[in-house]
Amino acid sequence: MNIKRIFGSILTVLGIVGLIYTAYLFVNTSGGTRDIKSLIIYGILGLIFFGSGISLVRTTKDEA
């Protein structure tokens, strides 16, 4: 049981959820009422979490 790999998986899932939520906000709001600030914040946080999670899972050595 590798804690780094589990934490990386959690970060990856949080990143995916953030990106999906950003897409949901983008699709379900019209042009005049679209809140650009929340789209940018959720999108950037989703990308950061996703990237760091994938990087952490990929660089952690699998030791049994």
Cα 4 to Cα 1: distance, rounded to the nearest angstrom? 9
Q: What is the pTM of this model?
A: 0.84
Average pLDDT, 10 consecutive residues per value, the chain (64 residues):
87 96 89 82 95 91 73
Amino acid identity at 13: V
Buried b or exposed e, range 3-42, using 16+ CB within 10 angstroms: eeeeebeebbebbeebbebbeeeeeeeeeeeeeeeebeeb
Predicted pLDDT at 2: 83
Cα 13 to Cα 26: distance, rounded to the nearest angstrom? 20
Predicted pLDDT at 1: 59
Predicted pLDDT at 28: 87
Locus of tokens 């999906």? 20
The whole-angstrom distance between residue 25's C-alpha and the CA centroid of its chain comes to: 15
